Structure 1
Amino acid sequence: MSESYAKEHKGARVKIQDFGRFLSGMVMPNIGAFIAWGLITALFIPTGWKPNEKLAELVGPMITYLLPLLIGYSGGNMVSGKRGGVIGAISTMGVIIGADIPMFLGAMIIGPLGGFVIKKFDELIEGKIKTGFEMLVNNFSAGIIGMLMAILAYSAVGPVVSSLSIALGKAVEFIVNIGLLPLSSIIIEPAKILFLNNAINHGVLGPIGVQETKEIGKSIFFLLETNPGPGLGVLLAYLAFGKKSIKQSTPSAIIIHFLGGIHEIYFPYVLMNPALIVAVIAGGASGVFIFNLFNVGLVATPSPGSIIALFAMTPKGSFIGLLLGVLVSTLVAFLVASIFVKSSNKELNDEELEKATVKVKRLKNKKEENFELENEINKIVFACDAGMGSSAMGASLLRDKIKKARLDISVINCAIENIPKDGDIIITHKNLTERAKEKAPDKIHVSIDDFLTTPAYEKLIEELIKISNINKNEKVKQEKQTISNNILIQDNILLGLDSSNREDAIDLAGKLLVESGYVKSKYIESMHRRENVLSTYIGNGVAIPHGDKNSKDEIIKSGISVLQYPEGIDYGDGQTVYLVIGIAGKNNEHLSILSNLATLLEDEKIVEKLINTKNIEDVYNTIINRD
């Protein structure tokens, strides 16, 4: 194969992946609406679980208007933000009225097209509108373009899509009738391993299934990609016949895959031994055969693809067939996978599982992005199409690693469309990074190939620890500077004082601050007021008297004084104090001083040294030059 041929086909494959993900990106943010419609359908239509004539009236308007409008808005929004979303929704209304079938495919076409048109218009007039006329032009241009796009959709796009949908429906019906639908697994199962599962399910199969559901109340197309049986069979084969440590990781993977619905977790297990693609194809095809044989279908897309979600979307009369289909696909995948797992010449272990990540990179022909952190990080965001499957899994893994590293950083997961403004780092799959950058261009973006075993997590933790240590060192440095900036002078350190009482000690500590020019004389009164409200004794024989909140006008500049009472003084409430440190902080600097001293004085050895030393320089250097 020539190099030019390989490059040409690599580009074609990337374009297909991007197109598929763009289609799924219009559906995934609205998957909750699809599930709501599916539940209403399953419950309230005449053949549902709880037939209700009034509530069943929701089914028609939702599938005819709500769902296509949401898709159209999302498509326009992906191209040109909220303004594009509005034009996409207006345009979609044209295809809805111009056709007599649910216009999901039409919305996927006209929604992004509407966003594209308004985007080009905005680029054309950028910088050419006179000041004061911006809102007028923006509003009327959106209205006019929206009207024209709706007319175009009504007169041209709607009829064309209707004809195409009818032809596609007949083709699908033909494939189902001659029993060839199970062969779809030859395409669907390998494509899932290439992380095209959302694109196939929500971008292609989902819209076809919705239209079929309107006609017959259920659709097998909701099961072609979401069936958890093939992946479960592969994981069970590793559990039964895998060697060494790889066997230990499968129970948790089974739970996450089968009950959690996150199919991505079994992909590396297949990539460790690519021959297992045969197993998932065989399992998928056998499951489809059983579903077709028992006339099984779902009322809406089960997302994520958990067995729980499958049962929730199953109408009356399909439970037995659904369960049989999942069991058969699991058994067939298990039997075929067992052959390849047992006959493997090398021992598959954790190291091989990590190498599967490299295989994913090779399949995608992309390199890991490098990243370096410079600023403090408070929130990390995992983003994917829906914000539920792979991103939830990745967020959980990284959250655990960050907890072990004792870093105070929040980790969340969400859909790309909902990336929060306060996120500092955005982590996405390689194929979604460009979309994430468009949504959050000013953030740090990390691209990964595999949410499970990517080495990016370890590198990120290293960077986070590094930046955390830098920030801590800088904070300590600033605190030292705060104290050493003439806050403490040696004349304000008195050692070997005779025992006295609390009031006299506070008077003396305040007097030193007054005489040194740190505070006005009335500040001493505020120190007593503060002490009467709440004792400033902090433990270890140390008290830190300071003014109350009303004393800020009495402070000239920040300063401290240190009094040493070797025999101790009665500080009230049975407390004996040996070290009295008077504090005055300008512009809330007292908080930094208090924090700094608290860190210093929690060390009993340091306190003991300060209480017993007879050298003023020892006290000064201990406080000023502490590490």
Structure 2
Amino acid sequence: MTTTSPTKPGGARVRVQRFGTFLSGMVMPNIPAFIAWGLITSLFIATGWLPNGILGGFGNADLIGWQGAATALAQAEDGTTFPQYVGLVGPMITYLLPLLIANTGGRMVYGARGGVVGTIATMGVIVGASVPMFIGAMIMGPLGAWLIKQVDKIWAGKIKAGFEMLVDNFSAGILAGALAIAGFFGIAPVIQALSAALEAAVNWLVTLGLLPLASIFVEPGKVLFLNNAINHGVFTPLGIQQVEQTGKSILFLIEANPGPGLGILLAFAIFGIGLAKASAPGAAIIQFFGGIHEIYFPYVLSKPLTILAAIAGGATGVLVNVLFQTGLRAPASPGSIIAILAMTAPDSYVGVILSVILSATVSFLITAVILRASRKRDLEKGDAAGDLSAAIAQTEANKGKESSVLGNLRAEGVPAGDAEVVAEETSLLTDTRPIKNIVFACDAGMGSSAMGASVLRNKIKKAGIDGVTVVNKAIASLEDDVDLVITQRELTPRAQQRTPSAEHVSVDNFMNSPRYDEVVAKLKEQSGAE
């Protein structure tokens, strides 16, 4: 089957995007672990909602495990104050979270084998440092995986039959052990110094009241999809360290605040024209409650001056959080108001809620002024739908791939009969092999691919077809053991490299692709033949 070949992007921006995608690919699959740790921290540390020395780990003595818990309970005088107990909070932030990130990064580079070596290597920097080694995990995990990949290439095809497992296990073990020792003595001090320098820079900005100026870089970076490198590479690791020291961090709110985007969308809903005005209310709901910030980027690109509104709104939110000394217990991902409130420290609700409201208000007012000033000219031009469609295309170009959420915005302005003109999706299913397992693949293996898998799964269920599995995965996790892989058009070549023997389908919109009906039709035909 033929596939539309995407234009190969280039330039520094694309390289930064890829770097950010790689970082987010290590962090995003492990967000549930961050949330679990954040909830445990919020509840059980000394300043939490339900302070508990057993689970939170605070007091006077050094007790470990369930036996230590029993001892602590026996020693407690009033049933609420316990001796020092190494509970869940400390071990999770010190060992669990960095090792999960390292394992994910290693798997992205060299599968399960890379994940094991990268995790062992990361253990060295964890033990060798006195601060949580998230940056160390992001370095050592992929590095260990890449090195074992190179080592395996040295004697690929040269090992005598029967000795493969022996060589593979010992080569990985020896390399991993060496990397762990090197990490303990050499790499941990360097990464700790780097972390200290970054933390000092952030503290310097906070002390001088300059942290709101970060929005000058963060908000335009979001629109250009350059924020992942900063957010997951700097803010999250430093934020976790601040949580360990103070119980909360403002850094989790710099990029995740949904207020600026909400204000922009509300302004378009009231003062916009054409498709922008009609689609903005629904987009505001998705952005604010669903946490999918990319949905407001086309509106900014259709009116570039509104980036000033995003910057001003973001800076306002950060300033409010600085003044109120508020913060979150853990990263809020996605950047939904629901996730933010769930991760908010008990003493920070007033400041956090106020920061969202005021940032939305500021961005709304500035956007409203910009839209009102250009309204007459826009009405005379009479192509607001075209402007937004062009902005959607530009947003997807910035992201480097199609977006199911943005595709829905574009589809709202296109008659049903013209859907194929917009989609430009490839014809498919020229292969006669039976289809038993289908994989939706995207960069992170979450978000858009999960929505697409759910849509097709429901169609298959309604058609009464059994024996077909539909799952979603990150492209880096694909293995060549599937029958059909469905990806957005720009990602198809990468998926084909990972699964050359599978059949591939390219779509523009994961949510409402007409190609799904063709898949269901083939499955029905296949089911009847059986």
Would you say same fold, with TM above 0.5? yes
2:72 — aligned with what? Answer: none
How far is 1:49 from its partner? 0.3
1:552 match = none
Of residues 363, 369, 372, the one that matches 1:333 is 363
Distance 1:385 1:473 in 2: 32
Which residue does 2:354 correspond to in 1?
324
The structure with higher relative contact order (CA 8 Å, sep 6+) is 2
* Aligned AA (2:487): I
Q: How does 1:197-276 map to 2 (within 5 A)?
A: 197-276=227-306
Deviation at 1:20, TM superposition (A): 1.6
Q: Does residue 138 of the first structure (1) align with residue 138 of the second (2)? A: no
1:111 paired with 2:141, answer yes
Per-residue deviation, residues 176-231 of structure 1 (Å, max 9, x unmatched): 11111111112111221223444443233111111111111111110111100011
- 123-132 or 189-198, larger mean C-alpha shift: 189-198
- Any stretches of 5+ residues in structure 1 without a counterpart? 1-6, 449-453, 479-591, 593-627
Do 2:250 and 2:322's aligned partners in 1 also have CA atoms closer than 8 Å?
yes
Q: Is 2:121 the counterpart of 1:86? A: no
1:22 Cα deviation after fit: 1.2
Partner SS for 1:54: helix
SS of the residue 2:331 aligns to: coil
Contact 1:426 1:443 in 2 (8 A): no
Q: Structure 1 residues 473, 437: closer, same or farther in 2, change over 3 A?
A: closer
Give the 3-state SS of the residue equivalent to 2:274 in structure 1.
coil
TM alignment of 1:65-214, pairs within 5 A = 65-214=95-244
Q: Which residue, out of 374, 391, 396, partners 1:356?
A: 391
For 2:148, give the aligned amino acid: I
Q: Distance in 2 between matches of 1:397 and 1:471?
A: 15
Q: What amino acid is aligned across from residue 392 of structure 2 in structure 1?
A: T
Between the aligned residues of both structures, percent identity stands at 53
- Shift, 1:365, TM fit: 7.9
Q: Give, in whole Å, the separation in 2 of the partners of 1:261 and 1:143.
A: 42
Q: Distance in 1 between matches of 2:131 and 2:338?
A: 30
Contact 2:248/2:328 (8 A) holds in 1: yes
| Alpha-carbon distance between aligned partners in 1 of 2:524 and 2:52, rounded to the nearest angstrom | 63
Is 103-112 or 347-356 further displaced after alignment? 347-356
The partner residue of 1:424 within 469, 473, 484 is 484
Structure 1 SS opposite 2:487: strand
Given the superposition, is the C-alpha separation of residues 21 and 255 from structure 1 closer, same or farther in structure 2, using an over 3 Å criterion? same
Q: Structure 2 counterpart of 1:315, which letter?
A: A
Deviations 1:222-260 (A, max 9, x none): 011110001101110111112234333222222211111
User: Structure 2: which amino acid aligns with 1:75?
Assistant: G
* Amino acid in structure 1 at the alignment position of 2:365: L
Partner of 1:52: 52
Give the letter aligned to residue 20 of structure 2.
Answer: G
Q: Is the 8 A contact 2:41 2:329 kept in 1?
A: yes
User: 1:124-171: CA deviations, max 9, x gaps?
Assistant: 111011111111111111111111111111111101111111111111
Change (3 A) 1:322 1:132: same
Q: Which moved more, 1:60-69 or 1:465-474?
A: 465-474
- After superposition, the Cα gap between the structure-2 partners of 1:456 and 1:21, relative to the gap in structure 1 and judged at 3 Å, is closer
1:469 Cα deviation after fit:
6.4
When residues 444 and 267 of structure 1 are mapped into structure 2, their CA distance, relative to the original with a 3 A threshold, is farther
- The CA deviation at 1:16 is 1.4
TM-score normalised by the chain length of structure 1 = 0.66
Whether the 8 Å contact between 2:105 and 2:115 is mirrored in structure 1 is yes
Q: Deviations over 1:393-413 (max 9, x none)?
A: 56677889x79x989798765
* Structure 1 segment 369-448 matched on structure 2, within 5 A: 371-373=426-428, 374-375=430-431, 381-384=439-442, 386-392=444-450, 413-416=472-475, 422=482, 424-428=484-488, 430=490, 436=495, 440-444=499-503
- The Cα offsets for residues 275-322 of structure 1, whole Å up to 9 and x where unpaired, read as 222211111111111111111110100111111110110111100000
Superposition RMSD in Å: 3.5
CA 1:348–1:221 in structure 2 vs 1: closer, same or farther (change >3 Å)? farther
What is the CA–CA distance in structure 1 between the aligned matches of 2:162 and 2:99, rounded to whole Å?
A: 33
1:12 aligns with 2:12: yes
Deviations 1:560-594 (A, max 9, x none): xxxxxxxxxxxxxxxxxxxxxxxxxxxxxxxx8xx
SS in 1 for 2:251: helix
Q: Measured at CA, do residues 139 and 228 of structure 1 come closer, stay the same or move farther in structure 2, by a change above 3 Å?
A: same
Is this contact kept in 1: 2:438–2:482, CA < 8 A? no
The answer as to whether partners of 2:441 and 2:485 remain within 8 angstroms in 1 is: no
* Cα distance in 2 for residues equivalent to 1:464 and 1:385: 21
Distance 1:384 1:35, change over 3 A: farther
User: CA deviation digits over 1:314-344, x for unaligned, max 9?
Assistant: 1111000001100011001111111222324
Larger Rg: 1
Q: Give yes or no for contact 1:184–1:285 (8 Å, CA) kept in 2.
A: yes
Counterpart mapping for 1:484-495 below 5 A: none
Q: Write out the 4+ residue segments of structure 1 that deviate beyond 6 Å after TM superposition.
A: 364-370, 376-379, 396-400, 405-411, 432-435, 455-458, 467-476
Distance 1:150 1:471, change over 3 A: closer
Q: Where do residues 525-564 of structure 1 align in structure 2 (5 Å cutoff)? A: none
Q: How does 1:19-30 map to 2 (within 5 A)?
A: 19-30=19-30
Unaligned runs of 5+ in 2: 1-6, 57-86, 403-422
**Cα distance, 1:285–1:473 mapped onto 2, change above 3 Å:** same
Range with greater deviation from structure 2 (277-286 or 326-335)? 277-286
Aligned residue pairs: how many? 463
In the TM superposition, what whole-angstrom CA distance separates every residue of 1:509-550 from its partner, at most 9, and x where no partner exists?
A: xxxxxxxxxxxxxxxxxxxxxxxxxxxxxxxxxxxxxxxxxx
SS in 2 for 1:223: helix
